[in-house]
Amino acid sequence: MSDNSLHIAVIGSGGAAMAAALKAAERGARITLIERGTIGGTCVNTGCVPSKITIRAAHIAHLRKESSFDEGVSAQPPVVDRVKLIRQQQARVEELRNNKYESILHDHTAITVLKGDARFVDAHNLTVRLNDGGEQTVHFDRAFIGTGARPAEPPIPGLADTPYLTSTSALVLDTVPERLIVIGAGFVALELAQAFARLGSEVTVLARSRLLSSEDPAIGDAMEAAFKREGIKVLRQTQASRADYSDNEFTVHTNAGTLRADQLLVAAGRTPNTEALNLERIGVETSNGAIQVDGQLQTTVPGVYAAGDCTDQPQFVYVAAAGGSRAAINMAGGGATLDLSAMPGVMFTDPQVATAGLTEAESLEQGFNVDTRVLELENVPRALVNFDTHGFIKMVAERDSGCLLGVQAVTAEAGELIQTAVMALRSGMTVQEIGDELFPYLTMVEGLKLCAQTFTKDVSQLSCCAG
């Protein structure tokens, strides 16, 4: 590698930054990657990985306590040892961080890692305040910003003076609180609310409007019903006006009354990590702190690119990584774009929530003449043999052509079935074509075929192996 090769400064080491650095290296660039915290960023350390481990453990605890087969298979409330669960969880986090981030960076000769806090001096220079002391200037041809986001602190009087939990601290909390209040009604809040309830907490969720308010309303209703079945209290249209902590107890004042709990989890959105970067100085525009990027992931400053949670794009690690790799292609002279039109979204509750493409409301807003169907899970053989028929699959199609526009699913393993919907959306399939495909019998994904068939048939009248 010559010193004349393109030099790219990559800020961060999460999903976006790693993808950008590796793709840029593959294209012959020299990379200086700057990370101020733990290598790997949110997903592996404090996000996807530990949360999915906690959720899985909580799911097992729940099944031991109760399942649809309790009459024939005896149930018994489990004894939860949170310290041991966290030890097991963190060992897997460390293993994945090492295998998927640290060793890869270590072995890559084109990538130099600097541990420190980066900020722009101008459109071709950064200063890095090194964690070990001192400062270093990094001159670059192109820069990539992948600085992610952190839990937002809503402006609730008194909150900042309390030792409230964020998703980060909740995931390593070594006790199961007796009473837990959750402020927030998005994916992160609901995943953790249900996990703690299943580990043994009495949970109350405060939703400013309703659960999952940006999704099709039927999804929030189904999740509220699922939470109610498990004894999780959901307070809709409820806002905290003050929070206090004394004598080991949180007090939260709301328009629905005063609530008390042993722990308070605040999971009400995430704030982009952009303030420390000096972006105004070089002219990178932001909106509410989120970096604005164009279709090729370039910011408002030529040569400076961004992706992931620090931008205005959806906060999923695969979106961050796809954005990072496409930005790298473009920094090296390419013209890659990121198409999010069929993007899947999954919430790992039970039942899971999974979406792809447009909702009915979005389709109407975009001027489509739409036709929709909702298939209740009583019509899905997999749900029947599971003795768990709570939930639904909804399909949105263009009325004249029958082309699929979007899918929303609230089912067990919805996260697995949604990718089939994504493929159908990507290839422009019609509901007729989906209904004519072979789907394996007794899988949840067969619900997609059955839902597609309801556009032309009464599925309840079909024989079990609907052809």
Ligand X SMILES: Cc1cc2nc3c(=O)[nH]c(=O)nc-3n(C[C@H](O)[C@H](O)[C@H](O)COP(=O)(O)OP(=O)(O)OC[C@H]3O[C@@H](n4cnc5c(N)ncnc54)[C@H](O)[C@@H]3O)c2cc1C
Out of 85, 111, 185, 188, the only residue in the binding site for ligand X (CB under 6 A) is: 188
Contact 14, 148 (CB under 8 A): yes
DSSP codes, 270-282: EEES-GGGTHHHH
Is 309 marked as binding a ligand?
Answer: yes
Calculate the alpha carbon distances from 324 to 148, 295, 299, 328, 329 in Å: 12, 13, 13, 6, 9
Q: Among 48, 256, 374, 462, indicate the residue that binds ligand X (CB under 6 A).
A: 48
Which whole-number Å values give the CA distances from 376 to 197, 263, 384, 392, in the listed order?
Answer: 26, 37, 11, 5
Instruction: Tell me the number of residues near ligand X by CB under 6 A.
Output: 37
- The answer to whether residues 170 and 50 touch, using CB atoms and an 8 Å cutoff, is no
Q: Which of residues 193-222 bind ligand X (CB under 6 A)?
A: none
What dihedral do alpha carbons 125, 127, 130, 133 form, nearest 10°?
140
In this chain, which of 30, 47, 299, 363 binds ligand X, going by CB under 6 A?
Answer: 47
449 is in an annotated binding site: no
CB of 315 to ligand X, least distance (A): 4
Element at 333 (helix H, strand E): none
Our separate counts of H helices and E strands in the chain read: 15, 23
420 phi, psi to nearest 5 deg: -65, -40
Stretch that binds ligand X, among 317-325, 335-343, 398-406, 416-424 (CB under 6 A): 317-325
Q: Quick one: which of 32, 54, 147, 251 contacts ligand X (CB under 6 A)?
A: 147
270-272 vs 233-235, strand pairing mode:
unpaired
Is residue 215 within 8 A of residue 227, CB to CB? The reply is no
Q: What SS3 class is residue 216?
A: coil
Taking residues 89 to 128 in sequence order and writing x for each that binds ligand X by CB under 6 A, - otherwise, the string is ----------------------------xx----------
Q: How far apart are alpha carbons 353 and 348 in whole angstroms? A: 7
Give min distance, CB of 441 to ligand X, in A. 29
Six token digits for residue 7: 């030099």
| Interface stretch with ligand X, choices 87-95, 174-182, 232-240, 273-281 (CB under 6 A) | 273-281
Integer Cα distance of 404 and 372 in angstroms = 10
Identity of the residue, 345 or 402, whose beta carbon is nearer to ligand X in the bound complex? 345
Interactions with ligand X, residue window 52-71 (CB under 6 A): 52
Please report where in the chains the tokens 């039970």 appear, as a residue.
Answer: 350
- Please indicate if the annotation marks 191 as binding a ligand: yes
Part of the chain binding ligand X (CB under 6 A), chosen from 8-16, 76-84, 354-362, 454-462: 8-16
167 scored as a contact of ligand X (CB under 6 A): yes
The whole-angstrom separation of Cα 318 and Cα 339 is 12
* Rounded CA separation 347/42 (Å): 17
Provide the mask over 329-368, with x wherever binding to ligand X is found by CB under 6 A and - wherever it is not.
Answer: -------------------x--------------------
Q: Which of 8, 9, 10, 13 binds ligand X (CB under 6 A)?
A: 13
250 is in an annotated binding site: no
| Nearest residue (CB) to ligand X, 245 versus 318 | 318
Site stretch for ligand X (CB under 6 A), options 66-74, 177-185, 197-205, 307-315: 307-315
Residues that bind ligand X (CB under 6 A): 11-17, 34-37, 41-43, 47-48, 51-52, 117-118, 146-148, 167, 188, 273, 276-277, 308-310, 315-318, 320, 348
Could you tell me which residues are annotated as the binding site?
Answer: 52, 184-191, 269, 309
